[in-house]
Chains A and B, each alone.
Chain A
Amino acid sequence: MRAFTTIAANTFLELVRQPVFLLLSTATTSFIIILAGMPYFGFGEDAKLVRDSSLAITLFVGLLAAVVAASSAVAGELRTGTALAVLSKPVPRVAFLLGKYCGIVAAVWLLAFTNLLASLLASRMAYDAYGDADTLGIAVFFGAIALSFLFGAFTNYFHRRNLSGDAFLSQVILVTGVFLILTFAVELKHPGQSAAQTVDWRLLPAGALILFALLLLSAIALACSTRLDTVPTLIVCTIIFLAGLVSDYAFGRPAEQGAWWAAITHAILPNWQLFWITDAIQSDRTLDGIWRYVAKTAIYLSAHIGIALVVAYSLFENRDLAGDA
């Protein structure tokens, strides 16, 4: 157990200290907030446009981060030999693999969490042709981003700590603080509106499903990384993602007509449509039992994560951990 927690914690630290995480976090949260600060003249669909775009960015960046993190934490370590030093210690391979998975998920979730907070803020800031940009909210948000960099620079200069890691983690804390303050302590009223504009809380279940999707893709990327390098992992994950997106059309319909191969493929392939309910939210249909749907999806997710981790373990348990160099 200690080996597992040690490896998980170390994987998380190593990942969040990579400049790419700070870069992704800063770029995506800033972009999401900027999306809410611009007029679209969208015939009343402006807010929906912002919500849709911000969740899409959260999902896409999360998927990218999951693949990069898994490749870096497993394939990269196997390639450079770091994993050899770790696995020459009393560390069961299953503990190594699960520790890596949890470390990857923690880092990717933290990134996605920040993006989701930015998306919730953006849903509050979004305005139509009759409204105005929430300049106070935008200024406070970018102030927090700037402060996180200053904090990272401070600890780096005075304590020789890792700038990227400290800036990223402080960014998560500061963005959370800004979200709580703007949402619960500052009233936002657009001209002509009688009620204050609030966060669109319907994004919460949508965000939860995005986190689920990232859990699953991290497991798939981990399984690929036990045997493949970064680029092949990225290619395989992209194929699985695209095939999963069209799973209902490509395999679901033939399965309904009795094609056994389609039924099996449809069952095995993760159906990413299940994790995307933004369209349902935007159609303004009543989402009765939305959390029940999330719970059902969690069961589907557990089965698929289980399969992915078993595959990862079987690929890793007996593999040679060094080439013929």
Chain B
Amino acid sequence: MIDLTENIEKQPASTPTDNRENVVSVRALSKVFKDFWGRPKAKAVNDVSFEIKKGEVFGLLGPNGSGKSTTIKMLLGLLNPTKGFIEIFGHSPRHVKTKERIGYLPEESYLYKYLDSRETLDFFGNLFQLHSEERAKRAEQLLEMVGLNQVRSRTVGEFSKGMQRRIGLAQALINDPDLVILDEPTAGLDPIGCREVKDLITALANRGKTVIISSHLLSDVEDVCDRVVIYYGGKIQAMGTLKELLTERETVRLTLPTLPREKMDQVLAMIRKDVAEDRIQIDNPTQNLESYFLGVVKRARENEQQTSGATSGSTVAHYLREGGEEKDQKAKILDRLAADLAPTPIAELLEEKPATTEQKQDANLASLAEAEAPKPVAPVVSKAAERKASDEKADDKLSSLLGGDN
């Protein structure tokens, strides 16, 4: 008998390594907004405490008005806390030296509407006292990265919301920040843009950068965050790593290559000895919509269809890559990712529609068993091992994106 829970129970607690440097410390933070007469109007943040370690991707989750953006603005020194303590890199958030190490993408990217993309990045680069050649170089790379190099002479005021987010993201990275704070980074972006932003966040984290993301788009956070806090009504309702928060320790999922019918029967019979019939679920894994969409776009790009909007250049800016200046990294994130995800025709996808009801188990079993040729049975992989393999694959992918030696 295979002990399916063995690996999971032996997983170490996934708390962050304590010896890492504390980038952000927030203790007992509260913010009360007052009206014209000084009377309390709204308690936006209420006794919030957390710490963020170097290299973490930290998510602030919560519904609209739950206090995420207010917390971020206090972290940036734009709002003054009513009570509590904030320390960024060991200093006050209002300290000018602290701000030199921070990149911030505001919730709404209303930048200077009469400046073009190039001037916008030059302006923000100037605020960090970058040398003019360095500013020009970084601006070029960032425009390429966010896919706005074709529209660099258009003023920002003419941009669509998604394009404004892209230029907003570019300005947030002009100083190669150690702490990147992104407020709703994927709001207004198309699926390609969302994917690029998520890849960029992962790439930044791989370089040891700390990233804080505020979002109510749970899938975005789930894809990239190491640890999250969930806000509601200005208070932290839950906090921890995604594994801690999301793992269902009472259930296990197996992923196997297609087996012959008799082998499958044997496996099921073994499982049915210990598990009630109504608690067993069998289906085919399906490709997600994002992967399918990226495949379609890749095919369209191969056919050289033109667009007047932002393109998906998306090469990670040279200076943002690990050892960026030394490596001649020409690969494009999207192309690489899309290449890994072979596009599947719609008809095939429809055929692969999962059947999840218990009544269809046998039918599924039959179809699963009808493989063209029996393949060697792969060893049973626990959820933890599956996750590990997935992590390794992601590491390999990022390694190639970042130049090969993360």
Q: For residue A86, which residue of chain B has the nearest CB?
A: B127
Q: How far is the CA of A10 from the CA of B79 in the complex (A)?
A: 24
Give the one of A84, A323, A324 with max B CB within 10 A. A324
B50 interfacial contact with A, CB 8 Å: no
Q: In the docked arrangement, what's the CA distance between A86 and B168, Å?
A: 11
Q: Is A13 touching B127 in the complex (CB atoms < 8 A)?
A: no
A242 part of interface (Cβ distance < 8 Å): no
Given that A17-B114, A18-B114, A324-B44 are contacting pairs, would A84 and B73 also be in contact in the complex, using a CB cutoff of 8 Å?
A: yes
Quick check: A81 and B127 within 8 Å, CB to CB? no
Cβ proximity bits B341-370 to A, threshold 8 Å, 1 near / 0 not: 000000000000000000000000000000
> Which A residues from 273 to 320 make CB contacts under 8 A with B?
318, 320
Bound Cα distance A82, B70 (Å): 16
The residues in B between 197 and 250 inclusive whose CB is less than 8 angstroms from any CB of A are none
Of residues 1 through 46 on chain A, the ones whose CB sits less than 8 Å from some CB of chain B are: 2-3, 6-7, 10, 13-14, 17-18
Contact status A6-B78, CB under 8 Å: no
Give the distance in Å from the alpha carbon of A80 to the alpha carbon of B126 in the complex.
22
Whether A3 contacts B127 in the complex (CB less than 8 A), given A85-B111, A88-B102, A322-B78, comes out as yes
- Residues from chain A with a CB closer than 8 A to the CB of B395 are none
A127 to B128, CA, bound (A): 57
Given the interface contacts A88-B99, A90-B128, does A81 sit within 8 Å of B106 by beta carbon? yes
A86, B127: Cα distance in complex, Å: 8
Pick the contact of B108: A18, A80, A323, A324 (CB < 8 A). A80
Q: With A17-B114, A88-B104, A322-B78 known to touch, is A6 a contact of B127 (CB < 8 Å)?
A: yes
The answer for the CA separation of A84 and B33 in the assembled complex, in Å, is 18
Known: A13-B114, A320-B78. A85 touches B106 (CB 8 A): yes
Residue among A2, A165, A318 facing the most chain B CB atoms (10 A cut-off)? A2
Nearest residue (CB) in B for A165 is B114
- Tell me the minimal C-beta distance from A1 to chain B in angstroms: 10
Judged by a CB distance under 8 angstroms, whether A87 is at the interface is: yes
A13 to B163, CA, bound (A): 22
A285 to B73 CA separation, bound complex (whole angstroms): 61
Tell me whether B265 is interfacial, beta carbon within 8 Å: no
Given contacts A324-B41, A324-B42, contact A10 B115 (CB under 8 A): yes
Contact of A160 among B69, B127, B153 (CB under 8 A): B153
Do B155 and A85 have beta carbons less than 8 Å apart? Answer: no
Cross-chain contact of B33 among A7, A159, A321, A323 (Cβ < 8 A): A323
Is B76 in the interface zone, CB < 8 Å from A? yes
Contact check, B108 vs A89: say whether CB atoms are below 8 A apart: no
Interface size for chain B: under 10, 10 to 19, 20 to 34, or 35 or more residues? Answer: 35 or more
Does A91 reach chain B (CB closer than 8 Å)? yes
Given A160-B153, A322-B73; A85-B114 close (CB under 8 Å):
no
A10–B41 touching, CB < 8 Å: no
B127: contacting residue among A14, A18, A80, A91, CB under 8 A: A91
Q: Smallest CB-CB separation from A324: which chain B residue?
A: B33
Question: Complex formed: what's the CA distance from A13 to B112 in Å?
Answer: 10
Interface flags for B137-181 (1: CB within 8 Å of A; 0: not) read 000000000000000011100000000000010010001000000
Judging by beta carbons under 8 Å apart, are B44 and A318 in contact? no
Closest B residue to A91 using CB positions: B127
A82 touches B110 (CB 8 A): yes
Q: In the complex, A24→B175 CA distance in Å?
A: 38
Q: Smallest distance from the beta carbon of A290 to chain B beta carbons, Å?
A: 40
Contact in complex: B154, A90 (CB < 8 Å) = no
Q: Taking CB as reference atom, which chain A residue is nearest B124?
A: A89
CA A325 to CA B31, docked complex, whole Å: 13
CA distance A24 to B97 in the complex (A): 42
Residues of A close to B292: CB separation below 8 A: none
When the two chains form their complex, are residues B70 and A324 in contact, meaning their CB atoms are under 8 A apart?
Answer: yes
17 CB-based A-B contacts, threshold 8 Å: A6-B127, A13-B114, A13-B119, A80-B108, A82-B110, A82-B112, A86-B127, A89-B128, A90-B99, A90-B100, A91-B96, A321-B73, A321-B79, A322-B69, A322-B78, A324-B41, A325-B65
7 tightest CB-CB pairs across the interface, nearest first?
A324-B33, A17-B114, A80-B110, A88-B104, A160-B153, A6-B126, A89-B127
Q: A6-B127, A90-B99 are in contact. List 9 more A-B contacts (CB 8 A).
A: A6-B123, A10-B123, A18-B114, A80-B108, A81-B110, A89-B104, A91-B99, A322-B70, A324-B33
